[in-house]
Structure 1
Amino acid sequence: MIRLTALNGRELVVNAMLVERIEAVPDTVITLTTGSTCAVRESVDEVIERAVDYLRSLRDAETGATPATIAQYARNIR
């Protein structure tokens, strides 16, 4: 889940796994796979960054990966 700000200033929490499309029209509009849409104050790039960070956190929790273990793995495969 990612925390965003609706145009009216209220906090909005979106399931990042359901994001289908993000557009700047000129406000940032998120379309979910359910067909629901929401307009937020954050830029398209900010929404993408938050979604990617959230999905990485899920992956890391699943695999036990941390920045240190990822760096060690990267050094070992060179």
Structure 2
Amino acid sequence: MNLNLRNAIIHNVSGNDQAQLKDTIVDAIQRGEEKMLPGLGVLFEVIWNHADEQEKNMMLETLEEGLKQ
């Protein structure tokens, strides 16, 4: 079976509104299950690919600050 995980994840959330996307993200983080990490990674990839340079810099600053804690 040739499963493209990235496409499956995108297909599963396509058409979701902001509230549904937030619920998906919050649920994945709260569960803390390793199997949820690829999905969060795909969602981050979508965000990154659609962000301008200023938004990317803000994400990097936020990430850097979060990793210092």
Normalised by the length of structure 2, the TM-score is 0.34
Q: Of Structure 1 and Structure 2, which has the larger fraction of its residues in helix?
A: 2
Task: Return the structure number with greater relative CO, CA threshold 8 A, min gap 6.
Answer: 2
Structure having the higher Rg:
1
Q: Of Structure 1 and Structure 2, which has the larger fraction of its residues in strand?
A: 1
